[in-house]
Amino acid sequence: MPESTHCIFCKIIRGNIPAIKVHEDDHTLTFMDIQPASPGHALVIPKTHAANLLEIAEADLLAATRTVQRVARAAQKALAPDGIRIVQTNGTAAGQTVFHYHVHIIPMQEGQRIGTHGRALANPEELKALASQIRDALEH
């Protein structure tokens, strides 16, 4: 599917909206969620627009899945959470709020409230520090 003019994630890919990037390659972009469910919450998106799992091309899905695994491993190494939630929703009823296929990587601690979205905007400096930690773990 072609990029969407009004899609916020397509705007991030084009550089029209800033994001705190963790990883980027030819096919995917990973950035910090600005309203995280927990510290280290990142989003992986394909660079090709597709609204959800039912519409994404197989090659883009495979690229996104590879990136999710790499970033989840790096988050585990960098942040040492008790667990990691991998969440992907399809449609408003399922909780999807941005209609560009994306996967949430959410580091979790024992006893933490389970949610896909946080309730408040995060401190940008804290997000940058967490992104740096995850990025460093990706490179080593």
How many Cβ atoms from other residues are within 10 Å of residue 63's Cβ?
A: 20
Beta strands in 25-100 (DSSP E): 28-32, 42-46, 83-87
Catalytic residue, candidates 49, 100, 102, 104: 102
Beta strand ranges found along 36-95 (DSSP E):
42-46, 83-87
Axis crossing angle, helix 124-139 with helix 58-79, rounded to the nearest 10: 100
Q: Is 102 a catalytic residue?
A: yes
Which are the catalytic amino acids? 102
